Amino acid sequence: MANIRPRVFLVGAGPGDPELLTVRAVRVLEQAEIVVHDRLVSPAVLDLVPEDAVRIFAGKASRKHVMPQSSINEVLVTQARTGRRVVRLKGGDPFIFGRGSEEAMHLASHGIAFEIVPGITASMGCAAYAGIPLTHRGLAKGVHFVTGHMAENGELDLDWRRLADPDTTLVIYMGLMKIDRICGNLIEAGLPLETPAAAIENGTLPTQRVITSTLGGLPGRVVESGLSAPTLFVVGAVAALSETLGWRTAPNLDESGAAD
């Protein structure tokens, strides 16, 4: 496939801050003729799309699908066959809870050449902007990434005993509506109530909010703070480091956010 000119580019838009786009992503966007984009792609990133490019909104929110995944797949094939340069712009990274692999498989099954342009994941970008290292010597040996979406039977189909590991960081995507149940299941599986936890709303954007708490207190803090989607959750000892490493609110920064 490397010798075939791609007709569809599956591009990771990162967590929101356009400064976090890869050089490759910017180059592809600047040459786009058709852009199929998600709800979580920030306006600042969309500003990089040429004015004469066709924009197709394929946004999805919890329980609200503007365009079902099957329709998105078909749109990509149909637009690719017009011969124009198609960019599928997805928040974060296409292959981390982005269904980019499903779209790539659909393109491949129809003989459509494509290229994957990785993006900074929401977990990496939001945690870094909140001053939370996902791993840290003596605190976290590894990371689990999970989604808070419910299975078809209405249950959160996760291995709670495995996730309730005090030596591992747990990052929860799309868990805002179920955070009380998630925390309860982790506690029931043995993770201590006092385990540090954090919620990051609109990570990397100017409107970013970081709420720190404990596993036991997190659901109440979420309600009290009125957090809304997109919110990412980090559970584990490293979450407590936000108070020290939260560089966006550190006193050595001037009002513009630039280092002194």
- Regarding whether 218 and 156 lie in a shared domain, the answer is yes
Q: What is the pLDDT of residue 1?
A: 43
Domain membership of residue 78 (yes or no) is yes
- Regarding whether 143 and 235 lie in a shared domain, the answer is yes
- Fill in the amino acid letter for 236: G
- Regarding whether 107 and 31 lie in a shared domain, the answer is yes
* CA separation for the pair 190, 69 (Å, rounded): 37
- Regarding whether 88 and 33 lie in a shared domain, the answer is yes
Exposed/middle/buried for residue 169 (C-beta within 10 Å: 0-12, 13-18, 19+): buried
Active-site residue, 38 included: yes
- Regarding whether 199 and 107 lie in a shared domain, the answer is no
Instruction: Quote the distance between the C-alpha of residue 128 and its chain's center.
Output: 13
Point out the residues of the chain with pLDDT beneath 70.
Answer: 1-5, 60-65, 150-154, 250-260
* CA separation for the pair 94, 25 (Å, rounded): 12
Q: What is the pLDDT of residue 149?
A: 76
How many domains does the structure of the chain reveal?
2
Q: What is the pLDDT of residue 255?
A: 53
- Out of 103, 120, 137, pick the residue that ends a domain: 120
Domain membership of residue 40 (yes or no) is yes
* CA separation for the pair 53, 205 (Å, rounded): 25
Q: Which position among 17, 47, 52, 60 bears the catalytic label?
A: 60
Domain membership of residue 253 (yes or no) is no
In the three-class reduction of DSSP (H, G, I as helix; E, B as strand; rest coil), residue 214 is classed as strand
Determine the structural domain holding residue 187 and report its residue range: 123-247
CB 215 within 8 A of CB 246: no
In the three-class reduction of DSSP (H, G, I as helix; E, B as strand; rest coil), residue 71 is classed as helix
- Regarding whether 137 and 35 lie in a shared domain, the answer is no
Q: What is the pLDDT of residue 49?
A: 96
Q: What is the pLDDT of residue 2?
A: 46
Q: Kindly report the number of other CB atoms within 10 A of residue 63's CB atom.
A: 6
- Regarding whether 136 and 90 lie in a shared domain, the answer is no
Q: Which position among 17, 38, 93, 165 bears the catalytic label?
A: 38
Model pTM score:
0.89
Nearest to 181 by CA among 146, 209, 211, 210: 146
Q: What is the pLDDT of residue 4?
A: 54
